Amino acid sequence: MAATADLDWPLADKERVRRLLALPGVRPHSLERLLAARVAVVGMGGLGCAAALYLAGQGVGHLTLIDPDRVAAHNLGRQVLYAPEDVGRLKVEAAGSALRRLRPELSLSLWPHALGPENADFLLAGHDLVLDGLDQGVPRDLLNRWAVAHGVPVVFAGAIGYEAQVLVVAGGQPCLFCLFGSVADAAQDCAVEGVLGPVVGMAGMVQAQEALKLLLGVGRPLIGRLWTWDAYAGRTRILAVPPRPDCPVCASGPVAVGQARMGGQHRG
Ligand SMILES: [Zn+2]
């Protein structure tokens, strides 16, 4: 395709985005934005692995991976960036190695830290977009508040049992608190309730899909609309999320992150 020939990119990246340029609405400047984009993935479990795989593959310029945990054998069924020889390695390092094999040109920052109030600015500032790969509520509450306060879009996701959900919070539209209230104490535990690997992967891929739509400026992102997938019934639904008039996070303008409920760890 001639349109990519003028762009000052490595040849490998030009070839990588060739098929994107054939999509309706995608222009050369959309691709320049994609290759310059900085995306943070908070949590490198099943969601983060699936999402990062596609973001790297499709040409996102820089990925910041954040997770304090090490790869465990029980992760391997659904955390698709890790191989048996990675057990015991830091997830961010193992994921970084896998993504570099996929795309040597990818720029990466690897932080083996849990997201907390003391490091949210350091870890998340300077990104165009954040993906939520967390499975615990306290840091997810913090991420919601930080993103609303700083005007950075977040693609939230969750998967448990046979069900997955994705919601984009951006542009002053309803936030995660509008939908669920505080999720600090509400997180479910995959270790107790179980989860089907492809359901997590599907949610991660929908996250990547929404991130790419936002970065390319195409389509209708799931802003203020909750995508749900019930694998048991084989049913997809999209539900409008109404704004909560008394939402303490987004109703009265940006909220200082210091007012959020803080602390906690996240697992992959
Ligand atoms: Zn809200």
In tens digits, what is the pLDDT along the chain, a chain of 268 residues?
A: 445 556 666 666 777 788 888 899 998 889 989 999 999 999 999 999 999 999 999 999 999 999 999 999 999 999 999 999 999 999 999 999 999 999 998 999 999 999 999 999 999 999 999 999 998 778 999 999 999 999 999 999 999 999 999 999 999 999 999 999 887 666 566 666 788 999 999 999 999 999 999 999 999 999 999 999 999 999 999 999 999 999 999 996 544 443 433 223 333 3
pLDDT of res. 192:
67
Identify whether 170 is part of a domain.
Answer: yes
Ligand 1 midpoint to CA 244 (Å): 6
Amino acid at 75: N
**Would you say residue 3 lies in a domain?**
no
Centre of ligand 1 to C-alpha 124, Å, is 20
Residue 4 lies in a domain: no
Are the CB atoms for 53 and 99 separated by under 8 Å?
yes
**Residue 2: per-residue pLDDT:** 41
Cα 245 to ligand 1 centroid, rounded to whole Å:
8
Q: Does 257 fall in a domain?
A: no
User: What is the total count of domains within the chain?
Assistant: 1
In a domain, 267, yes or no: no
Q: Is 1 within a domain?
A: no
Ligand 1 mean position, distance from CA 107 (Å):
33
- In a domain, residue 256? The reply is no
| Beta carbons within 8 Å of 235's beta carbon, 6+ residues apart | 229
Instruction: Write the CB contacts of 27 (distance below 8 Å, at least 6 apart in sequence).
Output: 21
Report how far ligand 1's centroid is from the alpha carbon of 176 (Å).
6
Report how far apart, in Å, the C-alpha atoms of 248 and of each of 170, 253, 257 are. 16, 9, 12
User: For position 138, what pLDDT does the model report?
Assistant: 85
What CATH number is attached to the domain comprising 237? 3.40.50.720
Task: Give this prediction's pTM.
Answer: 0.89
What spacing in Å lies between the alpha carbon of 227 and ligand 1's midpoint?
17
Angle at 151 between CA 143 and CA 56, to 5 degrees: 70
User: Do 179 and 213 meet the contact criterion of CB atoms below 8 Å apart?
Assistant: no
Task: Provide the residue range defining the domain that includes 211.
Answer: 11-246
